[in-house]
Amino acid sequence: MKSGTKPQMREIRGLRYWPEWLDPAEQAALVAALREVVAAAPLQSPVTPGGRPMSVRMTAAGRLGWVTDRKGYRYQSRHPAGRPWPPIPAGVLAIWHEITGLTRSPDCCLVNFYGEGARMGLHQDRDEGDFTWPVLSVSLGDEALFRIGGTDRSDGTESFWLRSGDVLLMGGPARLAWHGVDRLRFGSSGLLPKGGRINLTLRVVEGV
């Protein structure tokens, strides 16, 4: 998607990472498209199956959306308010196809919003049914300290800062790596007027 010279890809524990893949104009265009997604499918404040509130707010776009509540973690075809999820914006799909090289489109674009103090504990993405498909992540807004380990919870981890416009791909050996976001540098980006970070994760959801 990025025009001109593409940023150099780095590999960290099997994860592929493109810093500054999106330029400022592309980032702003994505935020405008995501505002339409949120207008159709408002951000929710989810809880885990154990009843613990999560610090991120979330919504989704696509054929399916990922949700969590006292009933469990799952994908479903409708927003908790009962409406179908809106379509994934064309600009987001373009990133998926260019980075992955796949003709198959994702079924879900999970939209997580991190406000001040929000974080995401170490976890694996394993609700999709077929782990041969990669998970693609796009960062917009404030910088986030991303932590990644191995496929075993006891494996050591390493951390690096994700900045606005960065894209990473978890596939192959890294598809089931434990990962999370330890903290934000709130206010480090001017992309969102009130601060915060948007993280998009795109997934193929087969066998669910």
Q: Where is 105: in which H helix or E strand?
A: none
Q: What is the CATH number of the domain that holds 21?
A: 2.60.120.590
Q: What pLDDT digit, counting tens, does each position of 136-184 carry?
A: 999 999 999 999 999 999 999 999 999 999 999 999 999 999 999 999 9
Cross-strand bridge partners of residue 179:
123, 148
Cα dihedral 161, 166, 169, 174, rounded to 10, equals -10
Q: Is residue 59 part of a domain?
A: yes
Contact residues for 50 (Cβ-Cβ < 8 A; gap 6+) = none
Q: Is residue 114 part of a domain?
A: yes
Q: Where is 159: in which H helix or E strand?
A: strand 158-162
**Number of independent structural domains in the chain:** 1
Q: Is residue 135 part of a domain?
A: yes
**pLDDT value, residue 206:** 79
What does pTM read for this prediction? 0.94
Separation in Å, CA 54 to CA 49, 105, 125, 184: 11, 28, 16, 15
Q: Is residue 62 part of a domain?
A: yes
**pLDDT value, residue 7:** 78
Q: Is residue 64 part of a domain?
A: yes
Handedness of CA 26, 75, 161, 11 (dihedral sign): negative
Q: Is residue 1 part of a domain?
A: no
- Residue type at 116? E
The stretches in the chain having pLDDT less than 70 are 1-4, 207-208
**pLDDT value, residue 3:** 52
Parent domain of 97 = 10-203
Q: Is residue 208 part of a domain?
A: no
Q: Is residue 2 part of a domain?
A: no
Cross-strand bridge partners of residue 184:
144
